[in-house]
Amino acid sequence: MSKRPNKSSSSGEGSALSPGIAHIPLLNILSDTDRLRMLRELSETRYGKDEYIFREGDPTEYFHIVKEGVVKCVKSSPGGKECTLKMLMPGDLFCCDAAAFDGACHPGTARPMGDVSVLRMRKTAYFDLLRRSPAAALEVIKYLGARLNEAQEKAKLLALDRTDQRLAALLLDLAERSGVQDPQGIRLAVRVTRQDMADMIGTTTETAIRIMSRFKKDRLVTGTASRLVIRDLARLKTFASA
């Protein structure tokens, strides 16, 4: 499947946001004038599972926002092995932000997990918006601060928590960001493989498989990568913080 770029249809008349982009925090805090300016600068591109949004080493020309679907950020080893760093959900801004601000190339790769729709805006237009709008600049500072807190929290988990606690915490995070109600509990709307789980908590795939088998035996979770359900959210929270 090839990329299908087009100017976003979200820049309609007036200042109301269409349902497809109403969940994007940055757009919601802008003034009507700045919001319309930004919508005119946004273009929408659709990607398939086997495509790349950008690759490690590419120049940082755009800021990206997930509109639909899930995107994963990966890092490659010198031998070509990929490690999943995080998953991005609808509304998430991404571009390897520090690299974009200092003019460096992308330090990682962004790949779709299935069909996705991504909004993008040229870096020059984005910086111009931040200069004009203190509210938008403050929102970006808050966003980058949250990203820094996430990185610090992940470093703490990797250093101090047991592997099974790290996996429980990851499942809780995915449930909070993508969970939908299911007769059996909370179903993850994102497909996450055991390899993805292992990468994101810093362990081997074999260890992730063993822990997930134990979680299933203890009736904390059920299902497969394509349909994973958390059956007992309260017990999983208790386990993660024990």
Query: Which are the contacts of 224, defined by CB distance < 8 A and separation ≥ 6?
Result: none
Is residue 155 scored above 80 in pLDDT? no
Torsion-angle region of 74 (φ positive above 0: left; ψ -120 to 50: alpha; else: beta): beta
The pTM for the full model equals 0.75
Confidence grade of residue 234 (pLDDT, cut at 50, 70, 90): very high
Instruction: Give me the sign of the Cα torsion angle 107, 29, 10, 42.
Output: negative
Task: Determine the pLDDT at residue 188.
Answer: 94
Give the DSSP letter of residue 18: P
More confident of the two residues 206 and 23: 206
Average pLDDT, the chain: 83
pLDDT at site 228 = 95
More confident residue, 103 or 191: 191
Residue 14: the pLDDT is: 41
3-state percent helix, strand, coil for the chain, nearest multiple of 5 = 40, 25, 35
Which domains occur in the chain, in start order?
A: 4-157 (2.60.120.10), 161-240 (1.10.10.10)
pLDDT at 223 over 50: yes
pLDDT in tens, 142-151: 877 887 787 7
Split at pLDDT 50, 70, 90, the class of 12 is very low
